[in-house]
Amino acid sequence: KSIWKQYNMLFAFLAQFCYVGAQVTVASFFLNYATENAPYTAASASDLLSYALITFTVSRFIATALATVLAPEFIMICYVSLAIAFNCYVVAGHGPSAVAVLIAIFFTEAPMYPTIFALGTSNLGRHTRRGAGILVMGVGGGAVFPPIQGAIADAAGTRISYVTPLVGFVYVLGYVFF
């Protein structure tokens, strides 16, 4: 079949696009969220962002260990479901607890990129190299989502703008689930 008839790869590209867009927006608007919705200064919010990135790194190792005993689809369903639940709380919540949950989203993001990539390139046969290149182009979501979230943040506030990554996580769950 043609590369353009490899539907799993095409849907994986969209999942990668949505995931990277969601990941970039979660991190890009972290400081604004922490200073607008909780009693943090810019300096303390910056420290919290550092902790969030450390959380992401630790989670990548945990997810890699889990992948040796659990199916990647199961890991993704668990992690993405948690990301969606946490993201809903971030949109609705206020205060330090909402910022803590925002940090928890970083934990849930860690296995998504490599797992979507692996799922999207499986069973491509002679199209594996080209399919991998197409999936890598999914990082373009990181350029598309932030302006959308920024426009929503300007119109309705940073807290409400976190609906943008929520949409991305919902698509990722749909891809992995179906």
Is pLDDT above 90 for 1?
Answer: no
Is pLDDT above 90 for 6?
Answer: yes
Intra-chain end-to-end CA distance of the chain, in Å: 21
What's this model's pTM, rounded to 2 decimal places? 0.95
Assigned token pair, 60: 């990548």
* Residues 103, 109, 111: CA angle, nearest 5 degrees: 140
**Distance from C-alpha of 172 to C-alpha of 94, rounded to nearest angstrom:** 26
Reported as type and span, the H/E element at residue 176 is helix 163-177
Average pLDDT, integer, range 128-150: 97
pLDDT value for 97: 97
The torsion of the CA quartet 145, 81, 92, 147, rounded to 10 degrees, works out to 0
Q: What is the pLDDT of residues 54-83, one digit of tens each?
A: 999 999 999 999 999 999 999 999 999 999
Average pLDDT, integer, range 157-172: 98
Q: What is the pLDDT of residues 79-103, one digit of tens each?
A: 999 999 999 999 999 999 999 999 9
